[in-house]
Amino acid sequence: MDGNLLLAFGLTLMAGLATGIGSLLAFFTSSTNTKFLSVTLGFSAGVMIYVSMIEIFVKAKDALTGSLGWTLGNWITVISFFAGMLLIAMIDKLIPKQGNPHELKKVEDMNGPKNAIGDPALLKMGTFTALAIGIHNFPEGIATFTSALQDPGLGIAIAVAIAIHNIPEGIAVAVPVYFATGDKKKAFKLSFLSGLSEPVGAIVAYLILMPFLNDVMFGVIFASVAGIMVFISLDELLPAAKKYDETHLPIYGLIAGMAVMALSLLLFI
């Protein structure tokens, strides 16, 4: 397991810093490719849902039933799964409404009226959004890190899925900050920094959870991670994908994500 530490940290860092890609897209493209974002967000949701229900949940159940017995192990698995959902739902509730990272932005929003530059309300919104994404990404960092530590192939799949969904979040930070300040560097820096909470989550997981990592702890964490990822997919990714493109593209992306994840799991059995 020790040999996977660097990979686990690296994957978590990559996933978190994908928010910076979103801000770069905002600066170097003239329009938002909504169809592309719609498909990729659906794809990300498909990967997360499939791997959570088919792989992570099952591994959690096997670990817990093996340690606690069939009945108690199954109960703890299900309770941990819904506890993960509850955790991420509570985080969403605590985030100030004006900083909600689910509020989509487009690159076209960069071309607003010039008198908006210097608007403190827009700057505040961008700063709140960066903070909200930072809070939101913390448990995702734990999820990516613990998954990669246990199973590198699984960690890569989760890291890619989380990185994809961090791209529009980077746009959501960069657009209002640039709009308010006219400063691309400041907008990029805030967007970039908002993703650093994911590697921070990995560090916290390593320092606090690793000393206690036995089969029971592993099972509880994995079941909770499955709940977190299913909630993110249903509450954030699919609604965002539908807002970017209201045709069937998000569902096609979701099915493709499930199929790719299923194939990759079959190939690495």
Residue ranges at the known binding site for Zn(2+)? 140, 165, 169
* Helices of type H across 95-181: 120-150, 152-181
Q: From residue 267, how far is each of 36, 71, 150, 264 by CA, in Å? A: 27, 32, 18, 5
H or E stretch at 96: none
Q: 184-194 and 5-28 are packed helices; what angle lies between their axes, rounded to 10 degrees?
A: 150
Token pair of 42 as six digits: 């659906």
For helices 152-181 and 184-194, the axis angle rounded to 10 degrees is 150
Known binding-site residues equal: 137, 140, 165-166, 169, 198
Which amino acid makes up residue 112? G
Question: Exposed (0-12), middle (13-18) or buried (19+): which is 76, by Cβ within 10 Å?
Answer: buried
Whole-number Å distance between alpha carbons of 200 and 244: 30
Please give the annotated binding residues for Fe(2+), written as ranges: 137, 140, 166, 169, 198
What residue type is 225 in one-letter code? V
CA distance 141 to 8: 10
With CA atoms as reference, report the closest residue to 244 among 65, 41, 64, 43.
41
